[in-house]
Structure 1
Amino acid sequence: MTTTVRQVLDAKGGKAFCVAPGVTAFEALGLMAEHNIGAVLVTDNERLVGIFTERDYARKVVLKGLRSTDVSVRELMTTSPATVGMDQTVDEVMNIMTEKRFRHLPVLDDGRIAGIISIGDVVKSVIDQQRRTISHLSNYIAGDIAT
């Protein structure tokens, strides 16, 4: 059985943390630290305009000697981020993440933000599916041996 993005979000909870483009990197990082997440979506009137990640911070603030309290998310975010839909499979998401080297992808449902899926979510889903397959095969083999 193929796992979909919808199933992953249902299992983990579909909450996506969002910030406005004008907040400082420091404020966005505080939200990320508070919720132990690696990315926030950047929205303007509930419309997705970007994504701000730990990688954006490291490459655009730390390496350039900027101060996180002085620079806005708007200046650092990835604009027009790639997105995935609720009915896409985990395999499709994994391929996108691998090919494009993304660690987080916003999830849209009919154009509205439904959540965010991370590489960790994808790996967990794949491992869970493998565990279910192993369990199913073990039960099948045990049933065959008993009869």
Structure 2
Amino acid sequence: MKRSLLFSALIGAVASARSMTPMATIATARLAHRDTPGDLFLLDRPLFKYGALAMGVGELLGDKMKTAPDRTVFLGLLARVMSAGIAGAALAPHGREKTGAALAIATAVPLAYLTLAARKQAMASIGQTRSGLIEDALIVSAGAALVSLATGPQHGSGAITRP
């Protein structure tokens, strides 16, 4: 079966709302002994793997603070570019990592403005914390589902591998 770049684009959409979730979900998959279709360098190193998990949790907590900056400020967009690029490359078919990274970034940045507008609307209706928790549930679930569907058991793990 030929693999497409769909997962790269979709993980970019996840990054638009939660910048660290793509890397955290891939780090979690690697800890669960799952292989990514594309080559993955940074998140196989323990410092980066556990750092991605910590940053993912930290973002979920920090997002509920009144002082949390908008996701479209420079550093927020930079974090999205980096996370979407790494995750988009990892979920791309082998040999198409650069295209997967570019597609994920091209999805994440413009959608960050749309997801921010939706979040602001939700905040006006139900408040910052409640809207953030709902967004967290949706985005983390989507990220986990995407990465689960896009990855398979690591070779040599004793598990049956996919074709």
TM-score (norm 2): 0.26
Structure (1 or 2) with the greater helix fraction: 2
TM-score (norm 1): 0.28
Structure (1 or 2) with the greater strand fraction: 1
Larger relative contact order (Cα-Cα within 8 Å, sequence gap ≥ 6): 2
Task: Specify the structure having the higher radius of gyration (Cα).
Answer: 1
